Amino acid sequence: MSHFTPPAGAPVVDVDFTSSRMCNDPYPVLREIRELGPLVWNKRGHWMTARDKVCREILNRPGSLGQEGAMRNFFGAEAFISIDEVARHNALRGVWMTAFRRDVLMVLTRVIRTYAEDMLETVEARFRTGESPDLVPSFCRPLPAYVIAYMMGIPDGMMQTVVEWSDLMANSASGGFPIDYDNDPAWLAGERAKKELGGYLYEQIEHRRSHRGEDLISQIVHSEVGRTLSDEAMMVNTRQLLFAGNETTANWLAHIVVALARHPEVRRQILADPSLTAQALDEIMRWEPVVHTLPRGVRGDEVVVAGQKLQDGVEVVMLLGGANRDPERYDDPERLNIHRERKANLGFGYSLHSCLGVTLARMEALEATHAFLARFPEYELTAPASSFATFPMRGPGPIHIVPGGK
């Protein structure tokens, strides 16, 4: 529990991020928080905002609202996602900036498509034998893992283990905020997984020193800035890349499969005109983002957000699912509308720490969607609602479908 208390007059609510209500359908609560004010105090000891403009204001000021708390503890202080000092951050992120350029990533299109088609071929074969495979572990979850591992030069044989570590890490924040670092079982399980993945990546880094390739690990090991880094700094940066390239996209793909089942009219529009797919996927990200909680910590006594002075050290949790349905930015925001005016939503973050891999994620989602719809142009979910494991990193699963409809 944090020792902070809200100033008199501040709107106060009690929201349990671990409740099944927040996992399964957080939107009514997010709407309530958004309507209560630009900043709302959670009785559990931190501020929250569910407004788009306030999120952008916070994210654009990494110097005073930084990765002080949960993010830094999760990724490690030397990972560039934890570094708010712009020059240092950019020097580290710059190692991989070229690798994530649109024109450079284009060569991966065929790799992504082949992985997706191979996985779906197996899925379809299982349907033919009368099985009903869960699409999360057979498709949504492994696809981004194989792609980022391919880019990092990690052998396919390690994939299952890497996915398991990554899943445990993704679960780290599921015990609620502020995190009880000494006792929260989800956090502690994530810590163990981070340590094991870290150990494996140390070996990979060492190997690349003498076996330089084109892969992302070789790129940092043999970069100018890489040569100045400690082994630990190299590892945490590599680990952050692997993790970020894994969990978010996997959950996005799961949301896409579910959204296209529940909205057959959208699915049919995409099938008729695949040039609509990219904007449809963006709209699904707005409507059902994966990362729902983005925490920042206040630095110093002079930080004012939305006209409210905040205490040094207090955490502000941005509720991106609320911000992405803010009527100040989006007309009729609760509705999935693939034809709405295209605007950047906060699903991939904003400003200094916005997603490095957004272009890759979009390529993966596009290829995955087209490959999936080519095999399953018509399908229905077997159950009306899927469940969601956690609120902070939210994605549906298991997903079972009936090809061709019931």
Partner 1 sequence: MSEDVTPLRKKIKTIRSHCIASGNCAIIAPELFGQDDEGVVVARVTRLSAAQLADAQSAAAACPVAAIVLEDDVGTAE
Local structure of residue 277 (DSSP, 8 states): H
CB 84 → partner 1: shortest distance, Å?
Answer: 13
Contact stretch for partner 1 (CB under 8 A) within 29-37, 90-98, 119-127, 283-291: 90-98
User: Is residue 340 involved in binding partner 1 (CB under 8 A)?
Assistant: no
Among 200, 243, 350, 372, which residue sits at the site for partner 1 (rule: CB under 8 A)? 350
Q: Which is nearer to partner 1, 234 or 352 (CB)?
A: 352
Among 5, 63, 88, 97, which residue sits at the site for partner 1 (rule: CB under 8 A)? 97
Token readout for 95 is: 């190692």
Q: Which is nearer to partner 1, 49 or 174 (CB)?
A: 49
Alpha helices (H) along 245-338: 247-262, 264-272, 277-287, 320-323
Nearest to 318 by CA among 144, 58, 63: 58
Which position has the token pair 């060569």?
107
Contact 251, 141 (CB under 8 A): no
Using CB under 8 A as the binding criterion, the count of chain residues that bind partner 1 stands at 28
CA dist list (Å): 111 to 151, 164, 242, 282, 385: 10, 23, 17, 22, 32
User: Is residue 341 involved in binding partner 1 (CB under 8 A)?
Assistant: yes
Among 126, 354, 383, 387, which residue sits at the site for partner 1 (rule: CB under 8 A)? 354
Q: Which helix (H) or strand (E) holds 14?
A: none
* Cα distance between residue 245 and residue 275, in whole Å: 25
Interactions with partner 1, residue window 237-296 (CB under 8 A): none
Q: Which is nearer to partner 1, 106 or 374 (CB)?
A: 106
* Cα distance between residue 107 and residue 229, in whole Å: 30
User: Is residue 306 involved in binding partner 1 (CB under 8 A)?
Assistant: no
Among 176, 349, 392, 395, which residue sits at the site for partner 1 (rule: CB under 8 A)? 349
Q: How many DSSP H helices and E strands does the chain contain?
A: 18, 12
User: Is residue 339 involved in binding partner 1 (CB under 8 A)?
Assistant: no
Q: How far apart are the first and last CA of the chain?
A: 49
User: Is residue 304 involved in binding partner 1 (CB under 8 A)?
Assistant: no
Interactions with partner 1, residue window 42-71 (CB under 8 A): 56-57, 59-60
CB 320 → partner 1: shortest distance, Å?
Answer: 13
Q: Which is nearer to partner 1, 24 or 223 (CB)?
A: 223
Token readout for 258 is: 């579910």
User: Is residue 109 involved in binding partner 1 (CB under 8 A)?
Assistant: no
User: Is residue 122 involved in binding partner 1 (CB under 8 A)?
Assistant: no
CB 399 → partner 1: shortest distance, Å?
Answer: 28
Contact stretch for partner 1 (CB under 8 A) within 70-78, 94-102, 262-270, 316-324: 94-102
Q: What residues does 40 pair with on adjacent strands? A: 48
* Cα distance between residue 84 and residue 106, in whole Å: 30
CB 244 → partner 1: shortest distance, Å?
Answer: 13
Q: Which is nearer to partner 1, 267 or 292 (CB)?
A: 292
Q: Which is nearer to partner 1, 22 or 318 (CB)?
A: 318
Alpha helices (H) along 131-246: 135, 142-152, 159-170, 185-210, 216-221, 231-244
Contact 22, 31 (CB under 8 A): no
- Phi, then psi, of 253 in degrees rounded to 5: -60, -40
| Cis-peptide into 398, omega within 30 deg | yes
Residues that bind partner 1 (CB under 8 A): 56-57, 59-60, 86, 90, 94, 97-98, 100-104, 341-344, 348-352, 354-356, 358-359
